[in-house]
């Protein structure tokens, strides 16, 4: 998976009481993201890859603010959109849920970036 100038690879998954912690190498920088059990179940339900969800989180086209101060990362894949809802536990990004609706329902045009998990280190 690649963005314009970045590539990434999921290098390790580690059990956590709430789900799994993904360790992701982004051009030599290691990012850590917690996927809750619910998010992992949704990834399976929607038959999307954890790599696509990770790409959405790291290289989103837009990030909007959701309920209770959570963030929603969007990335388009054809006529659909991965929506990854996340929040922070301290500095740790925690993915709450993921779904795969049609793009025209939620995509706002790619102009909002309320947050950025990967700061371009």
**pLDDT tens digits for range 26-78:** 989 999 999 999 999 999 999 999 999 999 999 999 999 999 999 999 999 99
How many CA within 13 A on the CB side of residue 10?
A: 18
pLDDT reported for residue 110: 85
Question: What is the DSSP secondary structure assignment for residue 42, as one 8-state letter?
Answer: H
Domain boundaries, the chain: 35-106
The structure's pTM equals: 0.90
Alpha helical stretches, state H, 25-116: 37-45, 50-58, 103-106
How many Cβ atoms are within 10 Å of 79's Cβ, its own excluded? Answer: 8
């Amino acid at each position: 998976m690649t963005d314009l100038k970045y590539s990434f690879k999921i290098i390790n998954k580690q059990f956590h009481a709430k789900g799994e912690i993904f360790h992701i190498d982004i051009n030599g920088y290691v990012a850590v993201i917690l996927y809750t059990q619910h998010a992992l179940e949704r990834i399976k339900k929607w038959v999307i890859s954890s790599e696509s969800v990770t790409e959405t989180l790291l290289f989103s086209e837009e990030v909007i603010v959701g309920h209770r101060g959570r963030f929603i990362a969007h990335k388009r894949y054809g006529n659909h959109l991965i929506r990854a809802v996340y929040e922070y536990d301290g500095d740790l990004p925690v993915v709450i849920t993921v779904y795969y609706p049609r793009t025209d329902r939620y995509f706002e045009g790619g102009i909002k970036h309320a947050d950025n998990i990967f700061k371009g280190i």
